[in-house]
Amino acid sequence: MASTDSPGNGGRRGRRPGDSGTREAILDAARARFSGEGFRGATVRAIAGDAGVDPSLVMHFFGSKQALFVAAMEFPLDPAEIVPRLVGPGVDGLGERLLRFLLGIIDELGEANPMLGLVRSAVTHPDAARMMREFLGEAILDRIAAAIDADRPRLRAELCASQIVGILMARQILALPELAAADRELLVGIYGRTIQRYLTEPLASS
């Protein structure tokens, strides 16, 4: 990690001029570390180092590592605005729209992706698993479930979530080679049809 040590320069104590943006620098470093190494793997000391700052300043700003995690993993997009925009045009082609959007922000956010941080932490840290379950559930799944007109809407939304989390794991974390290299529109087509089926087609097998 490139320790740019832009703020907090010089080893001198005391306040530097202006607003100094140190708080934001710490949040950026925390996002990168938590996303890349999960809650346990990321250390307050490393985050402070990346931000060019003393570890105790992190505590001064955020109180605890846990609180820093919550602040850093806040999702940069508001689901209350995004989900209706995706669902708005109707249920036709919703699968493809959802996937194009998701793969887009995954590629755009790269390694500083709060979803990666949540997944990497949820897997080890029960508190983070609860955070993710609640965020996923209330902010996204229930909204989608409310928008589709079919039996067992919540189960359908969870089916979609299982495939989407799987994409995240396979491409970003396990880095399965052909999947990671595949053309985005190809994946939109393949996975989009799966999601569409989970959302609207009959569930019971023949």
Partner DNA sequence: ACTCGGATTCAACGGACGTTGAGATCGTGG
Partner DNA sequence: CCACGATCTCAACGTCCGTTGAATCCGAGT
Q: Which of the stretches 16-24, 77-85, 137-145, 177-185 binds DNA when contact is defined by CB under 7 A?
A: 16-24
For residue 174, how many other CB atoms are within 10 A of its CB? 12
**DSSP-assigned letter for residue 168:** I
What is the H or E stretch that residue 147 is in?
helix 142-147
Residue 65, SS3 per DSSP: helix
CA-to-CA distance for 184 and 186, rounded, in angstroms?
Answer: 5
CA-to-CA distance for 115 and 101, rounded, in angstroms?
Answer: 14
Nearer to DNA, 46 or 188 (CB): 46
Residue 53, SS3 per DSSP: coil
Q: Is 192 in the site for its own copies (CB under 8 A)?
A: yes
Kindly state the smallest distance separating residue 29's Cβ from DNA, in Å. 13
Q: Which residues bind DNA (CB under 7 A)?
A: 7-8, 11-18, 20, 22-23, 42-46, 52-61, 64-66
Q: Which residues bind its own copies (CB under 8 A)?
A: 37-38, 40-41, 96, 119-120, 122-125, 129, 132-133, 136-137, 141, 152, 154-155, 158-159, 161-167, 169-171, 173-179, 182, 186, 188-190, 192-194, 197-198, 203-205
